[in-house]
Chains A and B, each alone.
Chain A
């Protein structure tokens, strides 16, 4: 890799990071407004037009708050853990293609930070490391609620990581690659079944995998109805009970960035990413991701929370066998080469 491409890559990454942080701030606004609408409330509407300045006000407030470290906390770990969560969250977005390669000033600018050939594996690995922030934060707080939240989180992420990974194997078998660039290219082909011409989006050929991925992704990001690590009615706030000020906001940011990254990933893997009618482009990706983000909020407004043992039962007794079944079926279809798949 020559220095010019490296520089371009850094530049794209820098822009992406900033866009992501801005989006994250407005994700909180979006969630609060949508949730309020679903609950016959108004939501934040005082700060700026439609409350659009609310995330900024919240950010300033959180930064200005005192950063409290409990007396019996493991000080170093307590201070570092939220940074770990926060630093790892946006990295997943690095492998998501945002468009075709741009040609500007004689430069080739690929609209993604890094085209890794094991992109999906890399995202899954980041999720696994990200949970360390939660475990360490919960353990270091010296609070029993935090500890229980951290324990729940560990068990949950291990179980649902497995389902998440296995649900994607079907996609890999069809695409023949782990690179998101290749998976996207496969989906941009037209799928012709008799008189019908459909986009070759994997939601059509892998509906079961899509459903499994969606459920596992909600659990992976600790959102309702799988928000057990931070179940506020049971564990007060779970692993970040003792956090305040900007360290609290790091966990908060990490959660929302994770949601956005997972939504982008789902849109890219199953809904054809930037592929769409008329002109392909980043707007299709944004629209699809927005659908997933809305889905997250919708779930939160509607569903009660699972119990710990039910969550585990769901992962190991229902989702995992289904994921294995899906892999088997997809493998057989691929082996016999049925249809256009």
Chain B
């Protein structure tokens, strides 16, 4: 029990931050700052331009998403997952619906699983494009952000075609997809896959061998592999240090074991290696999407309608009494999954995104916990900032790839 009568001790990474010496300057970077990617606040202690201590302060975008999950019925929470990491909404949807499906012991039909993979990989691309654009912008490369956002539009167009929404997609449903795939969507995705490698080359022309980019990113923000593991980093932050861990390979979900792709690894663990890893991940995502498009059946069910946990098909609701009653109950009361605890992780564009659900057998989760990758990854900022310059801080925030909606939840 916490004794609230006693003042809780303030634990900061460096106590000195509160009492700077005469030579030091405390600079409060954020929550309103052009390059803190939202409302991150970083309290910096500077000596000249050198960072003595760095203390990230989060919580400015806290909306209590986990608590909201514990007061909404299972299917009602899907739109809330969009609003955690809003640049890769389908990946969040996917993590949650997979966790609920695991809890209920159901599985989406094969065709739906392939389309889920395609959408998740497109979400990864969209997220990486936002990351690349803002990261390059932070370091001063102005044009890259315009190019990446131009290409992200194409992905958002695909999302819009698929589900009607562009940013907060609310795309996945428990059990699969209840609406048919638009007939011209596969061609749209194929067209994008043909175009996109050219776009990656364009970004790389501007950055990969640019001497200033190299000077700004190489040897900056080094995380050693053991430190990365100790901090619990996942995603490109971990793989940039050379640790081979990708949820898609380590614990395959959906049909990732049926497609071939490589997991790019860095060697030095610096900002540049993480940049290279993410660029290569974009190429691998295109590979996965192309294989999915080849393997996906052209017709077949998209929803696991045989399960009692899934909303009945709409045309049956209008014709059969049982389905109408079930539909009524499903909408009014929701469904009650079996008692138990479940954790399901997906490889989100930022790392391992896990949903941990405790069910007490009621239509509302007893406990819902979101393990968001960027919240965990952000912890490594003070470690990376040791001895860095002020200008490096924006590069480091960029390299972690945070979305404050996901950090604060």
Contacts and interface: CB of A to CB of B under 8 A. Distances in A.
B181 interface: no
Interface stretch (A11-19, A232-240, A242-250): A232-240
B146 A231 contact: no
Contacts of B216: 304-307, 310
A305 B142 CA distance: 9
Given A231-B391, A234-B394, A305 B139 contact: yes
Contacts of B154: none
A304 B27 contact: no
Given A148-B49, A225-B140, A306-B212, A234 B390 contact: yes
Contacts, number: 84
B147 A233 contact: no
B27 A234 contact: no
A305 B150 contact: no
Contacts of A310: 215-216
Interface string B133-176: 00011111111001100100000000000000000000000000
A308 B393 CA distance: 13
B138 A233 contact: yes
A39 interface: yes
A305 B212 contact: yes
Interface of A: 35, 38-41, 144-145, 148, 151-152, 224-225, 227-228, 231-234, 236, 300-310
Nearest to A303: B212
Interface string B28-52: 1000011100000000001011000
Contact of A300 (B33, B142, B213): B142
A304 B143 contact: no
A233 B394 contact: yes
Given A307-B216, A307-B389, A41 B146 contact: yes
B391 A40 contact: no
Interface in B29-80: 33-35, 46, 48-49
Interface size class of B (residues with CB under 8 A): 20 to 34
B85 interface: no
Interface of B: 25, 27-28, 33-35, 46, 48-49, 136-143, 146-147, 150, 206-207, 210, 212-213, 215-216, 389-394
Contacts of A151: 48
A214 to B, nearest CB: 16
Contact of A302 (B206, B215, B391): B206
Nearest to B28: A144
Contacts of B215: 306-307, 310
B34 A233 contact: yes
B389 A309 contact: yes
Contacts of A233: 34-35, 137-140, 394
B213 A304 contact: yes
A224 B142 contact: yes
Contacts of B35: 233-234
Contact of B147 (A39, A224, A227): A39
Contacts of A35: 142
Given A234-B35, A307-B215, A308-B389, A301 B142 contact: yes
Contacts of B34: 232-233, 236
B140 A40 contact: no
B391 A236 contact: no
